[in-house]
Amino acid sequence: SCAAPPTRLMLRKTRTGSILEVTLDRPDARNALSLALLHELAEAIRTAEHDGTRVLVLTGSGQVFASGGDLKELAGHETEEMAQKLLVAGRNVTATLETSRVVSIAAIQGPAVGGGAELALACDLRVIDAEAHLCFRHVRLGVTPAWGSLRRLVAAVGTAQAFAWLALAANVRATEAYERGLVSTVAPSGESLQVARIFAADLLKGSPSALAQLKASLFASSGAQALDDIERDAFVRSWCSPDHKEAVLAHFERREPSFSAKPGTGS
């Protein structure tokens, strides 16, 4: 009998000394965050803790950083079981990025949408291409953020601005993202990865232990757990809601969703 073909890896990894570049490599799917990709990415981040990596640069292949959850994989699975799987898979990535001793830089060379924006937000530094944007479009799909992004977004830009971007599913252009403090710098068109590499080289000039303590101290001061618990419960309820099912169906039927007229609990 013929052996099964090997599973295609969804990441490309390139090392330069103690700097590791990790590229989301699903260009045909706009680097959609499938469960398999999230698991592979979490493992890559965990491995970086122990292989001499000091700085991790995360970027996407092609013209997109990451387009969010893989709707082709998730469609028809608006269940609590799938919500929990997606919640755990995504939080394994974002929480590991946040708490790792390794400093992470998101090189946002193209749109970072939904879960893609959440992934970028979990990195310590964000470099965005002048032509790129972020979009927290969750409400248009009948769901709420899931991976700790409410806390991170409020910490970066304040409650009022966070609500506006989330509620309006706004495309946050590079300049606005920088002016509001969401990204560290705007790179010239097409040069976000090159600028991220410069940042990475500069980070190597600092003390590894001091950087690790800096990250740990900032995380401890953020009051993470309480808001993350609220966010988690809201995501599970919204994922199981009729509005989310309708939004996914409308996406594939290329029409506007018809949401319920009244706010609900999603239960």
Averaged pLDDT for residues 151-163: 94
Show Cβ contacts of residue 127 under 8 Å, excluding neighbours closer than 6 positions. Answer: 105, 106, 107, 108, 183, 184, 185, 186, 187, 192, 195, 196, 199
Of the candidate ranges 63-67, 112-116, 137-141, 226-230, the one whose mean pLDDT is the lowest = 226-230
Give the pair of three-digit tokens for residue 114. 């939904």
Q: Within its chain, how far is the Cα of 108 from the centroid?
A: 11
Q: Distance (Å, rounded) from C-alpha 24 to C-alpha 67? A: 11
Q: Distance (Å, rounded) from C-alpha 256 to C-alpha 250? A: 6
Q: Does residue 3 surpass a pLDDT of 70?
A: no
Q: Does residue 126 surpass a pLDDT of 60?
A: yes
pLDDT digits 0-9 by tens, 164-215: 999 999 999 999 999 999 999 999 999 999 999 999 999 999 999 999 999 9
Averaged pLDDT for residues 228-252: 84
pLDDT digits 0-9 by tens, 9-38: 799 999 999 999 999 999 999 999 999 999
User: Who wins on pLDDT, 47 or 73?
Assistant: 47
Averaged pLDDT for residues 56-76: 87
Show Cβ contacts of residue 185 under 8 Å, excluding neighbours closer than 6 positions. Answer: 127, 128, 178, 195, 199
- Burial classification of residue 111, based on how many CB atoms lie within 10 Å of its CB (0-12 exposed, 13-18 middle, 19 or more buried): buried
- Burial classification of residue 226, based on how many CB atoms lie within 10 Å of its CB (0-12 exposed, 13-18 middle, 19 or more buried): exposed
Averaged pLDDT for residues 229-250: 84
Q: Distance (Å, rounded) from C-alpha 59 to C-alpha 65? A: 6
- Mean pLDDT score of the chain, rounded to an integer? 89
Give the pair of three-digit tokens for residue 225. 């757990």
Averaged pLDDT for residues 40-58: 95
Instruction: Look at residue 107 and give its three-state secondary structure.
Output: strand
Give the rounded percent of residues in the chain with a pLDDT score beyond 70. Answer: 91
Q: Does residue 261 surpass a pLDDT of 90?
A: no
Q: Does residue 97 surpass a pLDDT of 90?
A: yes
Predicted pLDDT at 6: 44
Averaged pLDDT for residues 105-116: 97
Q: Does residue 7 surpass a pLDDT of 60?
A: no
Residues in the chain: 267
Averaged pLDDT for residues 56-82: 85
Which H or E run includes 231? Answer: helix 224-239
